[in-house]
């Protein structure tokens, strides 16, 4: 089992919060939608940086928590699988991946 799943972590971001006079969807309506789908909602602005870092932090935190729970830790990406001829003592044939 791995952390990539059919139900990914999602944060709903209302972008361009610095352009309030051009708003099309109310904050209330956006929050209702987020709540309906069980999502975090943040008003963000790439221009001012408002909540951009916070959105990334929340998303990464959720992804990391899910990975800690679901990833098979017997072989993490940074671990190297040694081939039989690279080992000091060859493993039994049943566990060889050569």
Per-residue confidence in pLDDT tens, the chain, 98 aa? 455 567 788 999 999 999 999 999 999 999 999 999 999 999 999 999 999 999 999 999 988 888 787 766 555 555 555 555 555 555 555 444 44
Q: CA of 8: how far to CAs of 4, 52, 73, in Å?
A: 7, 19, 20
- The strand pairing partners of 12, in sequence order, are 41
CA 14 and chain centroid, separation: 19
Its pTM surpasses 0.95: no
């Amino acid at each position: 089992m791995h952390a990539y799943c059919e139900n990914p972590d999602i944060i709903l971001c209302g972008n361009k919060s610095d352009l309030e006079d051009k708003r099309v969807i109310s904050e209330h309506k956006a929050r209702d939608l987020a709540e309906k789908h069980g999502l975090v909602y943040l008003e963000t602005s790439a221009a001012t940086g408002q909540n951009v870092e916070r959105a990334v932090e929340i998303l990464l935190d959720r992804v990391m928590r899910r990975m800690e729970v679901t990833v098979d830790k017997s072989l993490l990406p940074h671990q190297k699988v040694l081939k039989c001829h690279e080992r000091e003592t060859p493993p039994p044939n049943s566990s060889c991946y050569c």
